[in-house]
Structure 1
């Protein structure tokens, strides 16, 4: 009896072992025979109830004031050792040194690798795995860490509920080039085909992250690729990172999901999983709804320009009002002066003595004046006559 039970157990273990080997050997894809809809047939965890990615519905999130800002540890201390860039046929992976870690979580997490997800530049404009209120961005960066406080390595941690912590960064396109992403994108031509690796110069990984690490969404989920273990503490940053259209074009057109020896080359595109049901999970936020409104760089620029124009307009209006007030003050003063001058003239004019009217002189007065004039003339003549000479006296 004991032998039979042991035999059955051995058979079950053998079946599980062969199934695991078969799963490891299965080449899954995002579309095709072993596409997303078939993942759960070969990888049971992919059909779980706590899968990722998800659509973040901001009106259904819950603010948690205890969520502290995420703290990158050693991200900028890249040292002199080069990084390894790897095309695994599903994405481009940058392996990270073990001294990089992540704080601000219940445990200490050690960095393992980071990778990207993107679209194909088509009309659907998809690319990111997570979405916000049903809207995706052009690409998404994932930085993967394992719980080094509880588990010895990535393999042991990835099957545990609290084993992994992944940072999700939304990537959008704009006019300016992002130099930080060139540390990866400029070397994609060295790993164009699946299974190719290349060494690249080490760089500051924190330069890839948004500046604001204090506002984010937090939920429990899974790996977004097979085997889809539900072991990830997700942190999705609210602030988005911008790259140029030329940089996105490199990401979408340089890499192949096929190997170099394969004749049929297949571009590595649309390597994002569709969003999964949130089910009964709670999406937490580290910021309140009032402070969480999304503002793009264009909106910020418009606000700044609007404020500047408003200030200029207000200054013009104030200047106009001041000038108008001064004008009316001067006009009032001039009116007062003119009225004052007119009033004084009228007063002086009225105080002038009224001129006496001229009357006709009487005849007697005229005769008196004539007699006086004749008398004056005769007296003058008398004075002018010469005195008589003594010789003429008789």
Structure 2
């Protein structure tokens, strides 16, 4: 009996340990005792070769012409039923109605929920899970779908290959408020603590997506949270969505990962997983490099300002050159004038006027001048002779 009792006790302990160690019971987090680096110890798939998120290096992507634009189905047909907004301690999520789905993939996928990932607002830190060429965005939105052609529900599909499809939308801070995201952010104060839920008015989910749904990156990956099942077809859109700085601040500072009854409150921040290795996977893109070039409003403004500055600079240079040429021309003319006024006979010796020729005097004038000269000489001689009428002595 003692041996049998001990055997039964060991079996009970084993089953109790197994139940306590099941994935559903393990409390994981992004940091701490069971943080990201320890996930694979408790959730084997988290250490698999096809994990997400990844860093999309655009020069290493492969263009696939068969990738057609993604088409949301029923995203704007929200009806009158409210949505459920839920703080699950890891993120904020909305449960989506089953009539929403997406086309443009190999199968029809039905929407189940959407959620967000973000950082802590610190300088130089991101918040998105996927990165493009090593650069992260400020946050990331995920819209999760399951393969409704092959599987009956989300639970059955999430463990199977090609069972899930997730749309990834990168979010960056802009100058203007995004009204679509206020349908979520304005109600965060009602679910500040983990496990809290609230009903919110239904809204157009498609308004959360980028306008261009035809340019995206596609690869096979996994869930980015435990149990990290490698069953996801990822679609990461090339175009970013913008929200205001105030909207991002709400997302980063209102929610807690701790429950309301817990004395120590912990802000729900930095709920993003670091990028994982591709391990020879190929990231496909639906657009060529030329077609994928996209100029943001800031880049367009910078280009316009650059062109204007270039034109102004060119005009200044041309004006300077013209003024310099005029200056040297004027200097040359003034130098020529001064030289001609001071030494014109030396410089232009061939232009001296010739002396006037002497003309012969008329004969009569010559004879008249000779007569007058003789007369003057005769009168002078007479003055020199002694007088003849002198007085004599008696």
- Give the TM-score, by structure 1 length: 0.73
Q: Within 2, Cα distance between the matches of 1:273 and 1:221?
A: 13
Contact 2:20–2:26 (8 Å) recurs in 1: no
Matched, 1:222 2:222: yes
Structure 2 equivalent of residue 356 of structure 1: none
Distance in 1, Cα, partners of 2:288 & 2:20 = 44
User: Does the 8 Å CA contact 2:39/2:46 hold for their aligned counterparts?
Assistant: yes
Q: Tell me what 2:193 maps to.
A: 193
* Structural mapping, 1:230-249, within 5 Å: 230-249=230-249
What is the alpha-carbon distance in structure 2 between the residues aligned to residue 294 and residue 255 of structure 1?
35
| Shift of residue 184, structure 1, vs aligned partner | 0.2
User: Where does 1:119-130 land on structure 2 (aligned, <5 Å)?
Assistant: 119-130=119-130
Match of 2:78 in 1: 78
Name the residue aligned to 1:40. Answer: 40
The structure-2 alpha-carbon separation of the partners of 1:80 and 1:175, relative to structure 1 and needing over 3 Å to count, comes to same
Determine the structure 1 residue equivalent to 2:113: 113
Q: 1:61-118 CA distances to partner (integer Å, 9 max, x unpaired)?
A: 0000110000000000110100000000000001100000000111000000000000
Name the SS for the 1:199 alignment partner: strand
Measured on the aligned residues, the alpha-carbon RMSD in Å equals 2.3
Shift in Å, 1:24: 1.1
Q: Give me the whole-angstrom Cα distance separating, in 1, the residues matched to 2:227 and 2:295.
A: 36
Distance 2:285 2:300 in 1: 23
**Shift in alpha-carbon separation, 1:20–1:151, aligned structure 2, 3 A:** farther
Q: Distance in 1 between matches of 2:149 and 2:15?
A: 33
Distance 2:263 2:124 in 1: 29
Q: 1:264 is matched with which residue?
A: 264
Q: 2:145 maps to which residue?
A: 145
Q: Is the 8 A contact 2:102 2:111 kept in 1?
A: yes
Q: CA deviation at 1:126?
A: 1.2
Cα distance, 1:269 vs. partner? 0.1
CA distance in 1 between partners of 2:85 and 2:243 (Å)? 20
Once the two structures are superposed, residues 247-275 of structure 1 have per-residue CA deviations (whole angstroms, 9 ceiling, x without a partner) of 00000000000000000000000000000
Equivalent residue for 2:95? Answer: 95
Take 2:282 and 2:179, find their aligned partners in 1: how far apart are those partners?
36
Give 2:255's aligned residue: 255
Structure 1 spans left out of the alignment, 5+ residues: 1-10, 317-394
Match of 1:69 in 2: 69
Q: CA deviation at 1:26?
A: 0.7
Q: What are the Cα deviations for residues 175-226 of structure 1, in whole angstroms up to 9, with x where unaligned?
A: 1000000000000000000000000000000000000000000000000000
1:295 CA displacement? 2.6
* Residue equivalent to 2:287: 287
1:300 Cα deviation from its structure 2 partner: 2.7
Task: Find the counterpart in structure 1 of residue 297 from structure 2.
Answer: 297
Is residue 211 of structure 2 the alignment partner of residue 211 of structure 1? Answer: yes
For residue 18 of structure 1, report the CA deviation from its aligned partner: 2.7
5+ residue gaps in structure 2?
A: 1-10, 316-394
Q: Secondary structure in 1 aligned to 2:146? A: strand
Separation in 2, partners of 1:149, 1:43: 28
Counterpart position of 1:22:
22
How many residue pairs align between the two structures?
303
For 1:230 and 1:125, locate their aligned partners in 2 and report how far apart those are by CA, in whole Å. 27
How big is the shift at 1:290? 1.5
Q: Deviations over 1:282-322 (max 9, x none)?
A: 00000001222343221133346667x59x99xx9xxxxxx
Number of the residue aligned with 1:176: 176
- Per the normalisation by structure 2, the TM-score is 0.73
Whether contact under 8 Å (2:85, 2:92) holds in the other structure is yes
Distance 1:91 1:219, change over 3 A: same
Task: Please give the secondary structure, in 2, of the residue aligned with 1:23.
Answer: coil
**SS state at 1:22 partner:** coil
**Aligned match of 2:160:** 160
Q: Once superposed, which parts of structure 1, at least 4 consecutive aligned residues long, lie more than 3 Å away?
A: 14-17, 301-307
